[in-house]
Amino acid sequence: MNIGFLGAGKLGLPCAVATAAKGHHVKSFDINDKIHSKLHPKDALYTQEADETGKNSIGPMIENTTLTFVDTLEEIIDHSDIIFVAIQTPHQPKYEGNVPIPDEREDFDYTWLIDCMKELSSKINEKKVEKIVSIISTVLPGTLRRDILPITSNYIKLCYNPYFIAMGSVVKDFYFPEFILLGSIDIEAEKKVKEFYKTITDREVYSCSLENAEMIKVSYNTFITTKIVLANNIMEMCHSLPNTNVDVVMGALKKGTDRLISPAYLDGGMGDGGGCHPRDNIAMSWLSNRLNINQNYYDFIMRKRETQTAFFIKLIKEQKNRFDLPICILGTAFKPNTNINVGSPSVLLCNLLKEQNIEFEDFDPNLNQGSPPIDSPKIFFIGCKHDIFKQYDFPDNSVIIDPHRYIPKKENIHLIQVGIGEAI
């Protein structure tokens, strides 16, 4: 098929590349022309998994496809059987999860999505040609019918098709999703989009109304946060209870696949992170307040994310008082083996340390150049579970606080495996 992507950011770019790699003729347009100038293997903007191995960045994959980047919206319209809209619907940085959340709540900012759909509708009206347009941006329930449909051209057959992907593994998640979510109001458009996905994956397409699809997307993300909060709460308890081990406890709960669904996201560690989950929980907290829901469940799980970070700071301060060593936060990306730190619980930790005027340095091998700061004994807090940290030769007399319990034990190193109570 001839496919168009509007938006070549962290979502649109890797999905466009993945689509082209399946043999489709793909054209991409982004108002930020700087993105196009950086689409080379050595300058790829985002570290993404290009295949099942996760060893390739998005750069080499671009060179092996026929993906082209165009300069005008008209070229996308003329070319495409389906136009996918991957335009940002951001929260302000204060809601991304890198800093403590403020008391007020807000919906996402739909300015860019609305502007894009207005311009796209205007160009399509001029051409008087029917087009299938599938929005993949995250929105709260009711947004499309309230804000998008009234400004959408009658020539546009609109679908809502948000992805369940994670930054750092977009291509893999695009090829191997749990299911495809498709909200639609036009039967022919729905059939065409389903036909497209048959060329990408053999997974089920789950069809529903626009509003149900909007609700499913944000509910999926906030459910993940709920699981992480449960695991981390048990981790804190086990850390103070003798003869307990969070991995043993959660290992048992993971066996409950009939009632507890799946073992994913049931490991004690850092809080939930990334460009989707923290902000989606905040947005759903705002919606709960607007609907006057009796108990704001989403507010609780985000507050718990912060109090868990305060628990880590308490551990750091205890070791600082005991050993009087410099503090180093290792890993500020939001998840292992990627270079994205939006919504990072480790960045939140750093910002809370700054608020308390606690001096520290931080280093992430995927974000910072140079050698790791392991030249002298320090209190090392493992903020992100990068594989390379297991290979570090930490200096003797160092303290390592490991919320992930994966750093190997070593003589003359004081290793604190968070979530494992002392044996008595």
Whole-angstrom Cα distance, residue 50 to residue 62?
10
- Residue-level pLDDT at 305: 86
Low-confidence ranges of the chain (pLDDT < 70): 33-60, 95-96, 424
Residue 164: Cβ within 10 Å count:
17
Residue after which a domain boundary falls, among 208, 227, 245 = 208
Token pair of 6, please?
């509007």
Q: Are residues 234 and 304 in the same domain?
A: yes
The answer to whether 343 and 309 have CB atoms below 8 angstroms apart is no
Residue 253 lies in a domain: yes
Q: Are residues 14 and 162 in the same domain?
A: yes
Whole-angstrom Cα distance, residue 84 to residue 76?
10
Q: Are residues 113 and 186 in the same domain?
A: yes
Residue 328 lies in a domain: yes
Whole-angstrom Cα distance, residue 337 to residue 380?
18
Residue 314 lies in a domain: yes
Residue 195 lies in a domain: yes
Q: Are residues 345 and 367 in the same domain?
A: yes
Model pLDDT for residues 233-252, shown as the tens digit of each residue: 888 888 888 899 999 999 99
Residue 213 lies in a domain: no
- Residue-level pLDDT at 413: 96
Whole-angstrom Cα distance, residue 318 to residue 30?
49
Whole-angstrom Cα distance, residue 98 to residue 105?
16
CA R_g for the chain: 23
Residue 214 lies in a domain: no
Q: Which domain holds residue 28?
A: 2-208
Q: In what order do the strands lie in the sheet with 180-184?
A: 68-69, 25-29, 2-6, 82-85, 131-135, 156-160, 180-184, 205-208
Residues in contact with 388: Cβ distance below 8 Å, sequence separation at least 6, in sequence order = 365
- Residue-level pLDDT at 263: 83
- Residue-level pLDDT at 233: 81
The answer to whether 180 and 165 have CB atoms below 8 angstroms apart is no
Q: Are residues 331 and 263 in the same domain?
A: yes
Question: Any idea what the CATH number is for the domain that residue 171 is in?
Answer: 3.40.50.720
Q: In what order do the strands lie in the sheet with 327-330?
A: 361-363, 327-330, 379-382, 399-402, 414-417
Q: Are residues 232 and 199 in the same domain?
A: no
Q: Are residues 236 and 369 in the same domain?
A: yes
The answer to whether 69 and 39 have CB atoms below 8 angstroms apart is yes
- Residue-level pLDDT at 34: 57
- Helices 277-290 and 297-323: crossing angle in degrees, nearest 10, is 130
- Point out which residues pair with 3 in neighbouring strands: 26, 82
Q: Are residues 254 and 378 in the same domain?
A: yes
Residue 423 lies in a domain: no
Residue after which a domain boundary falls, among 181, 208, 235 = 208
Residue after which a domain boundary falls, among 208, 227, 243 = 208
- Residue-level pLDDT at 273: 81
Q: Are residues 235 and 204 in the same domain?
A: no
Model pLDDT for residues 172-223, shown as the tens digit of each residue: 899 999 999 999 999 999 999 999 999 999 999 999 999 999 989 998 988 8
Q: Are residues 402 and 263 in the same domain?
A: yes
HSE-CB at 94 with a 13 A cutoff on CA atoms is 7
Residue 424 lies in a domain: no
Spatial CA neighbour of 175 closest among 66, 365, 48: 48
Q: Are residues 160 and 223 in the same domain?
A: no
- Residue-level pLDDT at 294: 79
The answer to whether 132 and 161 have CB atoms below 8 angstroms apart is no
Q: Are residues 84 and 230 in the same domain?
A: no
Q: How many domains does the chain have?
A: 2
